[in-house]
Amino acid sequence: MANFFSDFMFLLQRFTWLTVLDIVLVTAVFYIILRVLRGTQAVALLRGIFFLIIVFGLFTTIFNLPAFSWLIGISLPALLFAIPVIFAPELRRGLERIGRVRIGSIFLFRSRLSVEMVEKLIDTVLNACERLADHRYGALIVLQQNDDLREFIRSGVMMDAACSTELLLQVFYPNTPLHDGALVIVDDQLKAAGCVMPLSDDPGLNRSPERESGLRHRAAVGISEASDAIALVVSEETGSISMAHHGRLNRRVSSEKLKNILLSFYTQSVLIPSPMNFSTRIKKILKRDQHMEGK
């Protein structure tokens, strides 16, 4: 006990404000890495790597195995150099997301939208999606959150028009010049149409049993991987409405569920700060509605 107390006092005497700064910086680096990789397939791979390192470390510490310890000792440095290569797509998307963050979001500036304007915008977008789905007209609508989508907006045709159901229907009417691209909504304005979105290379889209993963669905997942935007997709083949956020595609979402999700989205990111993670809110809404439908 005396040795423990003396060691503790020795560490406490060497504890300065630089030590605190050092710990905070290391914690921030690990936090950023985990945030960048969150929701991607790299999380499972990273978990497996950490598990192997812990198991091999304990194994070589408990047992005296010189040859096995030598093998682990020369393999771990190579694995550390391989991690950036393995996680290259996720790291690239994370850095792109950091680069697109608007200055206003850093200082917690809020949108000029009121609650009434948000509800009107959501009703307008969902009404247009329902009518497009009824006619089997394909559509891709991207709702900007905090990350700046200016790079993708420049690839389309600038509109800067008030959001209306009639204008949304006109944009995605078949054989019109803008119906193949994405429409980006910033606040309550139709910012641009015919925009080119990045395509996701998620292999899970190829294994879809519904075979709905066309270019629109890949573009929706792609923009949700590259930013925190929400993408709504109307399928030409099935007339169903899907939603992509944080690299995940929720298929066949009803209008009522979408309204609840979008209200949560704007409540958290645009109007009022919320402690609950938006992805958690989406899962709660979907589970609650599935439970009600089961009844």
CA distance 166 to 172: 10
> Highest-confidence range of 14-23, 28-37, 98-107, 224-233, by mean pLDDT?
224-233
Q: Please give the domain boundaries of the chain with CATH numbers for all domains.
A: 2-103 (no CATH), 111-294 (3.40.1700.10)
Burial of 96 (0-12, 13-18, 19+ CB in 10 A): middle
Residue 109 has pLDDT above 50, yes or no: no
Instruction: Kindly report the average pLDDT of the chain as a whole number.
Output: 77
Task: Mark 108-146 as b/e (b = at least 16 C-beta within 10 Å).
Answer: eeebebeeebbeebbebbbebbbbbbeeebbbbbbbbbb
Strand partners, 193: 157
What is the DSSP pairing of strand 139-143 with strand 182-186?
Answer: parallel
133 versus 270: the higher-pLDDT residue is 133
Strand partners, 16: none
| Weakest-pLDDT range from 8-12, 30-34, 98-102, 193-197 | 98-102
Q: Which amino acid is at 227?
A: S
DSSP 237: T
- Per-residue DSSP letters for 186-232? ETTEEEEEEE--PPP--GGGTT-TT----HHHHHHHHHHHHSS-EEE
Angstrom CA distances, 88 to 155, 162, 231, stand at: 25, 39, 24
pLDDT of residue 113: 66
Place of tokens 């999380």: 43
Q: Can you say how many angstroms the Cα of residue 155 is from the centroid of all Cα atoms in its chain?
A: 21
**pLDDT average, residue stretch 257-263:** 86
Q: Evaluate whether 229 touches 152 at the Cβ level (below 8 Å).
A: no
6 versus 179: the higher-pLDDT residue is 179
pLDDT of residue 182: 93
pLDDT of residue 124: 93
CA distance 29 to 14: 23
CA distance 120 to 4: 65
CA distance 253 to 266: 18
pLDDT of residue 158: 93
pLDDT of residue 272: 43
Residue 204 has pLDDT above 70, yes or no: no
CA distance 143 to 125: 10
pLDDT of residue 238: 86
Burial of 181 (0-12, 13-18, 19+ CB in 10 A): buried
> Percent of the chain having pLDDT more than 70?
69
> Highest-confidence range of 155-159, 244-248, 274-278, by mean pLDDT?
155-159
**pLDDT average, residue stretch 89-103:** 62
Residue 104 has pLDDT above 50, yes or no: no
Q: Element (H or E) spanning 245, and its range?
A: strand 241-245
